[in-house]
Amino acid sequence: MAKTLHRLIVSVVVSALASIFFIAPAANADVSPMIVGGTRASTSTYPWVVYLASTSGSQFCGGTLTKANKVVTAAHCVKGRTPASTRVVHGRDDKQSTAGTVANVTKIWVHPSYTTATAGYDVAVLTLDRNISSATLPLATPQDTALYTAGNSALILGWGTTSSGGSASRYLLKANVPLTSDSTCKTAYSQYSNTSMVCAGFPQGGVDTCQGDSGGPLVFGGKLIGDTSWGRGCAAAGYPGVYGRIAPYYSVITAQL
C-alpha cells in the first residue's frame, strides 16, 4: 500500500516536471511569432503557395499558383517591376535550401484600376516561363458569397516577418484567422471597401499576415478568396489584416489565366 502510494506520488511529480520542461516549450513554440502567431507548414501540403524573389533570390512577397504557368499575387508587390527582375519559387519551404523550382516571369499583368493597396484592386497575375507540375488553387467565383461569411476560419500562408517591423521567416508559416464582418473592418479602417477587400483577424489580435506575406493566399473552402494586401501594423488588437477580395475580380483574373 505504502509502495503504491509512493509510486503514485513519484509518477505525479515526474509528469508535473515533464509538463514544465517538455510540454511547456512545445506549447510556447506554438505561440511564438511566425507569420505572426503561426506555425511551420510544408509546400507539400500547400503545393500552390509560392514566393516571389529578386534575381539574387531575396524573397519579397507571396503568391498562389492558379494555373500551371500563372501566379496570382498583389499588385503592390509587382507594380513597377520588370518580368526580367522577378522570379517565382515553387516547392521550397526553407528559403535557405535549393528545393523546388525557380521560374522566370515573362509577363506581369496588374489590375488596370490599381493605384495603391488601400484603394483596392490590389491584384496581379504573373505568367511563368514554364508549366509547374503541381496542384493549383481555384479562385473564388462571384457565386461563392458563402465563403466570405464572417467567422469563417481562413488559412494564411507566407514567408514574411514574424512581427511588425521584425525579420522575415526562413520557413513557410501558416495560421488560421476568422474573417471579420464588413462593419468591424470599416470601424478599423475608413478605406475599407467590401467590394474589393475582405478582412481577417481575431478581435484581440495576435495572429496575422505581416510584411513580406503580401500577395500570398487567403484560403477558405478550398478556394483562393483573398490575397494579402495591407493593414495597420500586424496582429494588433482592433486592426485585422486586409486582403484583396478575389471573387469580384474572378472574370478579369480568369481572362489572364
Contact residues for ligand 4AZ (CB under 6 A)?
208-211, 213-214, 228, 230-231, 234, 241
Which residue carries 487567403 as its cell? 218
Beta strands of the chain (E only): which ranges? 39-40, 49-53, 59-67, 70-73, 87-90, 101-110, 124-128, 153-158, 173-178, 197-200, 217-220, 223-230, 241-245
**Least distance (Å) from ligand 4AZ to the CB of residue 177?**
10
Pick 132 or 215: Cβ nearer ligand 4AZ: 215
Pick 131 or 204: Cβ nearer ligand 4AZ: 204
**Least distance (Å) from ligand 4AZ to the CB of residue 116?**
12
Instruction: Give catalytic status of residue 214 as yes or no.
Output: yes
Q: Which of 93, 214, 227, 229 is catalytic?
A: 214
What sign for the dihedral angle of Cα 254, 113, 145, 140?
Answer: positive
**Least distance (Å) from ligand 4AZ to the CB of residue 161?**
8
Q: Which of 76, 169, 213, 229 is catalytic?
A: 76
- CA neighbor of 227 nearest in space, from 75, 81, 101: 75
Number of Cβ within a 10 Å radius of residue 240: 27
Q: Which of 90, 93, 111, 122 is catalytic?
A: 122
Instruction: Give catalytic status of residue 122 as yes or no.
Output: yes
Pick 104 or 118: Cβ nearer ligand 4AZ: 118
**Least distance (Å) from ligand 4AZ to the CB of residue 144?**
23
Residue 105's DSSP bridge partners are 128
CA dist., res. 63 & res. 136, Å (int): 12
Q: Which residue's Cβ has the minimum distance to ligand 4AZ?
A: 231
Residue type at 24? A
Instruction: Give catalytic status of residue 76 as yes or no.
Output: yes
Pick 61 or 126: Cβ nearer ligand 4AZ: 61
Q: List residues with catalytic annotation.
A: 76, 122, 214
